[in-house]
């Protein structure tokens, strides 16, 4: 086996990315404090070609050197918008027909393997702060909550890792069906 060179990966340009159809998923970042996590989420959102990221509350916005350390330019391809209040982001998405799903550890959550949204449903996925999780005032607006099972000693996944797990799950179970 041989590792592929970057040129052999045949990636699309930012301009081409902007013209292509997107996965009907909006990622809502509810008060994320780590700029490296924000950048990492942009990079993953670019790979899965999602529609948009809503950056809410204390979540920092591009351009920012610390975001770009992990985004590696994905802030240029993936659309984003800033909302001072996460509830305003969620209400707007609800008005526009998105199913509002928190990715969080909650009672009454669906475990990820049972999360099978109807194909091409418009989905808003809310991810929470590294310490406090998803804001309490968002919980009343939810259509569903999805929890990723864990089998080790730690309470939670890193938030950027959680985004990756969810998008891959959607790719397998939702996008392609
Ligand atoms: N409340 C957590 C900390 C939040 S982790 C704790 O007590 O440790 C940051 C975010 O990552 C969460 O708000 C959630 O969006 C996501 N997350 C982490 N682990 C998760 C899991 N097992 N299932 C679903 N989401 C998770």
pLDDT at residue 177 above 60? no
Q: What are phi and psi of 115, to 5 degrees?
A: -90, 100
pLDDT bracket for residue 117 (50, 70, 90): confident
What distance in Å separates the CA atoms of residue 81 and residue 76, rounded to the nearest whole number?
Answer: 13
Protein residue closest via CA to atom 15 of ligand 1: 127
Q: What is the pLDDT of residue 175?
A: 61
- Measured CA to CA in angstroms, residue 111 lies from 59, 68, 134, 145 at distances of 27, 32, 17, 9
Does the predicted TM-score (pTM) go above 0.85?
yes
Domain ranges of the chain: 19-175
Mutate which of 159, 160, 168, 169 for ligand 1 pocket (most atoms within 8 A of beta carbon): 159
Q: Which fold would CATH assign to domain 19-175?
A: Alpha/beta knot (3.40.1280)
- Residue 82 in contact with ligand 1 by CB distance below 6 A: no
Residue located nearest, by CA, to atom 25 of ligand 1: 104
Q: Is there a cis peptide before residue 63, judged by omega within 30 degrees of 0? A: yes
User: Which of 32, 130, 133 most suits a substitution to test ligand 1, by most atoms within 8 Å of the C-beta?
Assistant: 133
């Amino acid at each position: 086996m041989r590792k592929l060179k970057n040129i052999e990966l045949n990636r699309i340009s930012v301009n081409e990315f902007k013209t292509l159809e997107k996965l009907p998923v909006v990622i809502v970042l509810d008060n994320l404090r780590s700029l490296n996590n924000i950048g990492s989420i942009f990079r993953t959102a670019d790979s899965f070609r999602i529609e948009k990221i809503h950056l809410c509350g204390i979540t920092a916005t591009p351009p920012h050197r610390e975001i770009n350390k992990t985004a590696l330019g994905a802030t240029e391809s993936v659309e984003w918008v800033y909302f001072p209040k996460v509830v305003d982001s969620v209400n707007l998405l609800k008005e526009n027909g998105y199913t509002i799903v928190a990715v969080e550890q909650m009672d009454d959550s669906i475990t990820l393997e049972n999360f099978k949204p109807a194909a091409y449903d418009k989905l808003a996925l809310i991810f929470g702060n590294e310490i406090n999780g998803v804001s309490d005032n968002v919980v009343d607006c939810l259509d569903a909550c999805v929890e990723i099972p864990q089998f080790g000693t730690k309470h939670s996944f890193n938030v950027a890792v959680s985004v990756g797990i969810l998008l891959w799950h959607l790719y397998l179970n939702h996008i392609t069906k």
